[in-house]
Structure 1
């Protein structure tokens, strides 16, 4: 199977046909059998493509207020991302986790970036490279900057300097 090759519309259509043909219930899909009809794709690639982009019951648009409230409540009560996804149905566990980590976590620091934070960001990026999770640990509190926010801040500041 090839790596990092974009999926074609023809491959997407073939994947939809194969899933419809071989699906046994909502979660019991034999990805190995399905991948045989897509010679340039592995079973894992087929599963990921289906779950992240093609599954008709999933929704990838604007987040609704009730979804955010559900995520916050269930996360507080100790539910796993997959459990929350089963409850919301329209979102995958990965999307729910990203939503929480980047927007909903009550510990997220939402204030403007300080000069000190910018200096630390650039200093540590030179040493650590793009290890945003490591840089995240170094930035001062209170609150945390999401890794995605740190990456975006760095990239935007670099663009502004050029």
Structure 2
């Protein structure tokens, strides 16, 4: 099906090219293209392929680095529109979509983002949150105020993941001391986390 969809996309590009060079000529869909389109809609559902086009395949979407001018415009727009109307923000940034604007804000431009080094307490809290939520970075962020989704994900992949075994051992030792098998209580208890970390000293 991927090959068929690719063929359909390629064929449609040819139609667009023909239309741009011969403005008065109306290109007709072939029976083969109609059949491919019907099969694609059945397999991927109407909403699915429409979103795929809007967010990925649309050639008007800008996918490169953000410019300083775009960042400055984003700051101004968020100041006026807030952080709930990303589609409206995107309409003022040609080539960008709401999802891009939201991610740019929460991962880079939000002034509340913490950029100082991670603490041991934050690392342990990230480890415990990942045990509880898995790779649901937005949920984990709610437990680590000031850290962005990208920042949390990168910290996990570059630092915490490779020492998870050691952190798990700390948790086991702490649970033995506390006569407990629950780690959830640690998430919101900084004093308990510090107590746990003292085991390694």
> What TM-score range do you get, normalising by the shorter chain?
0.7 to 0.9
Q: Give 1:17 shift.
A: 7.0
Q: Which has the higher helix share?
A: 2
2:54 aligned with 1:57: no
Q: Which moved more, 1:44-53 or 1:126-135?
A: 126-135
Give SS of 2:44's match. Answer: coil
What's the Cα RMSD here? 3.1
Q: Give 1:78 shift.
A: 1.7
Match of 2:50 among 41, 47, 51: 47
Q: Give 1:72 shift.
A: 0.9
Counterpart in 2 of 1:99? 104
Pair member with larger Rg: 2
Give SS of 1:122's match. Answer: helix
CA contact (8 A) 1:35 1:42 kept: no
Report Cα offsets for 1:62-91 as digits up to 9, x if no partner.
Answer: 111111111111101125211121111211
2:124 aligned with 1:148: no
Counterpart in 1 of 2:137? 132
Q: Which runs of 5+ in 1 are unaligned?
A: 21-33
Counterpart in 2 of 1:27? none
Judged with a 3 Å threshold, the aligned counterparts in structure 2 of structure 1 residues 65 and 146 are, in CA distance, closer, same or farther, namely same
Counterpart in 1 of 2:78? 75
Q: Report the TM-score when normalising by structure 2.
A: 0.60
Separation in structure 2 between the aligned mates of residue 18 and residue 81 of structure 1, nearest angstrom: 32
CA contact (8 A) 2:70 2:93 kept: yes
Counterpart in 2 of 1:122? 127
Judged with a 3 Å threshold, the aligned counterparts in structure 2 of structure 1 residues 114 and 101 are, in CA distance, closer, same or farther, namely same
Q: Give 1:50 shift.
A: 1.0
Separation in structure 2 between the aligned mates of residue 138 and residue 15 of structure 1, nearest angstrom: 47
Separation in structure 1 between the aligned mates of residue 43 and residue 15 of structure 2, nearest angstrom: 15
Counterpart in 1 of 2:170? none
Match of 1:9 among 2, 6, 22: 6
Give SS of 1:138's match. Answer: coil
Counterpart in 2 of 1:30? none
Counterpart in 2 of 1:31? none
Judged with a 3 Å threshold, the aligned counterparts in structure 2 of structure 1 residues 114 and 70 are, in CA distance, closer, same or farther, namely same
